[in-house]
């Protein structure tokens, strides 16, 4: 069945997630089970507001998280003051996040990504994984809402998304489109889903982004990554902890989906770019991420990978890079080469 198109122009899809599976994520502490990097999440949410709600400032933000927070005795008292406040217009965009330190542990320990719901451990792990990733989704939605962004959490499983042998087969985006048309910002996440051949698996945030990009054709896609112990700014020619690791500034994608490094010129072109994959990662690691990004770029949609909470991420989110990549911008641009 042909998907309906949104009536609004989709400016961007923003991915909040890990770059190197051993070394941190944009909004969680990767090596600490179910731990959110509160400072990073707040900064990223603020930058997203600045980029996509042009008329907003920290002073005129209308907070949309009215739930009782830990340590508070009452719900917010400013609600009655909002009756006559105009709602700030925001550009249409979508947020997708990975699991970070949420979900990966539960999925890998139970083998959810390999399937087999008939086994008690897998079924329990499926439930545990979804509890974990949906709890992270809620916290991200709340953070965005506190910045006045009308965010709505959406789970692929609940929307009927499913796979066949880990390849996406069903992905109804009708509710995503309806949310955008109504002025909301959908926030999706990597999820445990049903699989017609192996009963269940993990659907990565990167696969979700590729499908959304193909259907909704955003102007560009931004991957925001971070690291608390390393100054990781994008994709490197080898694990960034190794001496001499070089930041790849630009990757060109060809018609057949293959890709090559354009900038900088690597000294040893015979040595392939190396990526690490953590033992607990169930979604394919960095190789999968670059492959998914290349598939998006092949659609003619630029992909920018840069560090969250920096001037570089501000430029990427604002669309400043569409006119060309300045020399002082640090990150990795992935583009289609015609």
**Cα pseudo-dihedral 281, 286, 288, 289, rounded to 10:** 110
List Cα–Cα distances, 191 to 92, 104, 133, 235, 322, in angstroms. 23, 10, 7, 25, 31
The greatest distance separating any two alpha carbons of the chain, rounded to the nearest whole angstrom, comes to 65
| Residue 17 annotated as binding site | no
Distance CA 145, CA 149 (A): 5
**Annotated binding-site residue? 300:** no
- The reply, when asked if residue 99 is annotated as ligand binding, is yes
**Burial group, residue 2, by CB count within 10 angstroms (0-12, 13-18, 19+):** exposed
Q: How far is CA 292 from the centre of its chain?
A: 12
Q: Is 231 annotated as a binding residue?
A: yes
- Rounded to 10 degrees, the C-alpha dihedral 85/86/91/93 comes to 50
Q: How far is CA 212 from CA 10, 14, 172, in A?
A: 10, 11, 10
Q: Is 104 annotated as a binding residue?
A: yes
Residue 289 assigned ligand-binding role: yes
Q: Is 315 annotated as a binding residue?
A: no
Q: Could you tell me whether strands 162-164 and 167-170 are parallel, antiparallel, or unpaired per DSSP bridges?
A: antiparallel
Give binding residues for ATP as ranges: 100, 205, 231, 285, 289
**Annotated binding-site members for substrate:** 99, 104
- Residues within the annotated binding site? 99-100, 104, 205, 231, 285, 289
């Amino acid at each position: 069945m042909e998907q309906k198109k949104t009536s609004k122009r989709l400016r961007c899809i923003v991915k909040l997630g890990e770059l190197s599976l051993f070394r941190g994520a944009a909004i969680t502490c990767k090596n600490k089970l179910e731990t959110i990097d509160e400072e990073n999440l707040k900064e990223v949410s603020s930058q997203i507001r600045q980029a996509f709600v042009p008329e907003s400032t920290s002073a005129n933000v209308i907070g949309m998280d009215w739930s009782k927070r830990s340590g508070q005795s009452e719900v917010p008292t400013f609600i009655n003051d909002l009756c006559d406040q105009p709602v700030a217009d925001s550009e249409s965009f979508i947020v997708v996040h990975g699991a970070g330190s949420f979900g990966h542990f539960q999925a890998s320990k139970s083998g959810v990504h390999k399937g087999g719901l008939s086994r008690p451990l897998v079924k329990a792990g499926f439930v545990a994984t979804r509890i974990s990733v949906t709890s992270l989704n809620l916290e991200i939605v709340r953070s965005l809402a506190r910045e006045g962004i009308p965010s709505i959490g959406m789970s692929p499983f609940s929307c009927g998304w499913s796979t066949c042998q880990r390849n996406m087969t069903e992905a109804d985006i009708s509710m995503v489109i309806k949310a955008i048309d109504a002025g909301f910002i959908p926030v999706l996440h990597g999820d445990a889903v049903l699989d017609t051949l192996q009963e269940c698996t993990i659907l990565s945030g990167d696969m979700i982004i590729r499908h959304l990009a193909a259907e909704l054709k955003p102007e560009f896609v931004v991957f925001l990554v971070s690291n608390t112990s390393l100054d990781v700014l994008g994709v490197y020619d080898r694990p960034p902890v190794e001496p001499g690791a070089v930041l790849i500034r630009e990757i060109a994608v060809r018609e057949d989906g293959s890709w090559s490094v354009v900038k900088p010129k690597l000294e040893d072109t015979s040595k392939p770019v190396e990526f690490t994959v953590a033992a607990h990662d169930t979604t394919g690691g960095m190789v999968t991420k670059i492959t998914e990004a290349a598939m998006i770029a092949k659609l003619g949609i630029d992909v920018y990978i840069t560090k969250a909470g920096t001037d570089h991420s501000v430029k990427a989110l604002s669309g400043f890079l569409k006119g060309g990549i300045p020399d002082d911008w640090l990150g990795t641009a992935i583009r289609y080469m015609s």
